């Protein structure tokens, strides 16, 4: 928790209002709630479930970039309360992730109030209760918005705008199709209308940014709402763009299911994972991607290199079993990998970040050349969204 806080409102600059046909009418300035914005700005947060791996708290506490934990799931508030006792100075954010089990509608953008009147409180009072339990920022309990359901999207934005408490972020959980040409203008219009920072969750069967149009849509969204969108539950590559573009910040899941949110009722899919146990993903420094440890093993056989990140595990990159203790060590290794990169990015002034991105892609390309030489596997290429982000960068530069 940062020691100084500004409570109040600030005006967003440079926004424009659309005329419904995609044209721009006139610049508008909307007050944007500051407290949650201040807590999230340039933030690179680790998204965790109620089980926080040992060592993770120390790791995220000990970085120069604004960082902390976003606790996800039904027990998020109780977990935050415990964390506040262990490490009172660490920023803590609560997300009940109701978009995983509730569909927003125009009349009920969130499960609130329910039919039995169980939620007798107002949303303001609800936020008060969670903040009193130790949270610095609270994500609204919005349901997922069906593709093209503009009225439900508007209701989600309205529900956030109706709250007075400055700690609330309006959660906007959408299927990746919302970021395609058909729906993007509508999404932009509604987010521009938000007086709150928006916690954007992009839901897809696999990594949504493997689709070039979806990744481009995200960049367009950042452009139209600068500094307002916190990209939530994503991976390190999309998070880099959320900082550079600029968005407000990003959270990266400590497990693959916390990095990529899947549609209700479906299990996460991974390439080639049919009929086998879920893959275990390790962050591979240099190429800076999460890779299935079996894939890493296939490159090197019994000569898999060891982790060389300072103060990290020192293990071979395939030496992680599915045992809980191993997965905890892997989680800290993975967070250390991306946190080191994003910490470096955030240390740069906004005007220098595109230059940083250029050097980043150059370094990754060199790392691929070294990896192919070391493993003697010439066919190793950037996977999925890594290749999409590289292509988009080359197109822009
Ligand atoms: Zn390590």
Q: Please give the distance, rounded to the nearest whole angstrom, from the Cα atom of residue 86 to the centre of ligand 1.
A: 24
Q: Please give the distance, rounded to the nearest whole angstrom, from the Cα atom of residue 128 to the centre of ligand 1.
A: 39
171/47 Cα distance (integer angstroms) = 15
Q: Please give the distance, rounded to the nearest whole angstrom, from the Cα atom of residue 328 to the centre of ligand 1.
A: 11
342/311 Cα distance (integer angstroms) = 17
Under CATH, what is the fold of the domain 30-259?
TIM Barrel (3.20.20)
Q: Is the peptide bond before 27 cis (omega within 30 degrees of 0)?
A: no
Q: Please give the distance, rounded to the nearest whole angstrom, from the Cα atom of residue 315 to the centre of ligand 1.
A: 6
Q: Please give the distance, rounded to the nearest whole angstrom, from the Cα atom of residue 310 to the centre of ligand 1.
A: 8
330/253 Cα distance (integer angstroms) = 13
Residues with Cβ within 8 Å of residue 224, at least 6 apart in sequence: 15, 16, 188, 191, 192
pTM exceeds cut of 0.85: yes
Q: Is the peptide bond before 389 cis (omega within 30 degrees of 0)?
A: no
Q: Please give the distance, rounded to the nearest whole angstrom, from the Cα atom of residue 338 to the centre of ligand 1.
A: 11
Largest CA distance in the chain: 64
Q: Please give the distance, rounded to the nearest whole angstrom, from the Cα atom of residue 308 to the centre of ligand 1.
A: 7
Q: pLDDT digit string (tens) for 291-346?
A: 999 999 999 999 999 999 999 999 999 999 999 999 999 999 999 999 999 999 99
| Buried b or exposed e, range 336-353, using 16+ CB within 10 angstroms | bbbbbbbeebbeeeeeeb
CA distances from 132 to 67, 113, 127, 138, 280 (A): 21, 21, 8, 11, 37
Q: Please give the distance, rounded to the nearest whole angstrom, from the Cα atom of residue 256 to the centre of ligand 1.
A: 17
* Lookup: tokens for 26: 């006139």
pLDDT reported for residue 15:
32
260 and 277 Cβ atoms separated by less than 8 Å: no
105/146 Cα distance (integer angstroms) = 8
Query: Domain residue spans in the chain?
Result: 30-259, 281-396
Q: Please give the distance, rounded to the nearest whole angstrom, from the Cα atom of residue 178 to the centre of ligand 1.
A: 37
- For CA atoms 262, 45, 42, 228, the dihedral sign is positive
Q: Please give the distance, rounded to the nearest whole angstrom, from the Cα atom of residue 334 to the centre of ligand 1.
A: 7
Alpha helices in the chain (DSSP H): 34-40, 56-61, 76-86, 123-132, 150-161, 181-193, 212-224, 236-244, 256-259, 293-300, 324-346, 353-375, 384-396
336/50 Cα distance (integer angstroms) = 20
* 202 backbone dihedrals φ, ψ, rounded to 5°: -100, 120
pLDDT reported for residue 11:
38
pLDDT reported for residue 383:
87
Low-confidence ranges of the chain (pLDDT < 70): 1-34, 113-120, 263-276, 396-397
17/26 Cα distance (integer angstroms) = 6
Task: Report the chain's terminal Cα–Cα distance, integer Å.
Answer: 37
pLDDT reported for residue 206:
83
* 262 backbone dihedrals φ, ψ, rounded to 5°: -110, 155
Q: Please give the distance, rounded to the nearest whole angstrom, from the Cα atom of residue 215 to the centre of ligand 1.
A: 29
- For CA atoms 267, 272, 278, 281, the dihedral sign is negative
pLDDT reported for residue 393:
87
- For CA atoms 248, 253, 256, 257, the dihedral sign is negative
């Amino acid at each position: 928790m940062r020691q100084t806080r500004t409570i109040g409102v600030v005006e967003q600059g440079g926004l424009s209002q659309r005329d419904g046909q995609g044209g721009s009418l006139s610049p508008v300035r909307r007050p944007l709630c500051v407290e949650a914005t201040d807590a999230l700005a340039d933030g690179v947060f680790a998204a965790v479930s109620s089980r926080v791996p040992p060592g993770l708290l120390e790791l995220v506490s000990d970085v120069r970039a604004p960082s902390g934990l976003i606790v996800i799931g039904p027990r998020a508030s109780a977990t935050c309360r415990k964390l506040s006792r262990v490490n009172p100075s660490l920023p803590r954010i609560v997300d009940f992730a109701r978009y995983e089990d509730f569909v927003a509608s125009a009349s009920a953008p969130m499960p609130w109030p329910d039919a039995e009147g169980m939620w007798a409180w107002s949303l303001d009072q609800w936020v008060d209760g969670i903040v009193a339990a130790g949270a610095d920022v609270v994500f609204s309990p919005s349901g997922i918005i069906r593709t093209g359901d503009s009225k439900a999207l508007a209701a989600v934005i309205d529900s956030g705008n109706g709250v007075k408490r400055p700690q609330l972020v309006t959660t906007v959980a959408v299927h990746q199709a919302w970021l395609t040409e058909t729906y993007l203008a509508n999404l932009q219009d509604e987010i521009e209308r938000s007086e709150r920072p928006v916690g954007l969750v992009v839901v897809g069967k696999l990594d949504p940014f493997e689709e070039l149009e979806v990744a481009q849509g995200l960049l367009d969204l950042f452009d139209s709402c600068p500094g307002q969108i916190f990209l939530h539950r994503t991976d390190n590559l999309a998070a880099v763009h959320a900082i550079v573009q600029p968005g407000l910040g990003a959270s990266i899941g400590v497990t693959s299911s916390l990095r990529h949110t899947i549609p209700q009722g479906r299990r996460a899919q991974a390439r080639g994972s049919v009929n086998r146990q879920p893959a275990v993903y390790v962050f591979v420094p240099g190429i800076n991607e999460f890779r299935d440890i079996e894939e890493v093993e296939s490159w090197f056989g019994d000569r898999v290199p060891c982790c060389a990140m300072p103060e990290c595990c020192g293990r071979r990159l395939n030496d992680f079993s599915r045992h809980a203790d191993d997965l905890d060590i892997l989680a800290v290794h993975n967070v250390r990998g991306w946190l080191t990169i994003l910490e470096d990015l955030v240390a740069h002034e906004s005007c220098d970040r595109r230059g940083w991105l250029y050097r980043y892609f150059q370094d990754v390309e060199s790392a691929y050349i070294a990896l192919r030489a070391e493993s003697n596997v010439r066919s190793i290429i950037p996977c999925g969204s890594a290749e999409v982000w590289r292509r988009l960068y080359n197109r822009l530069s």
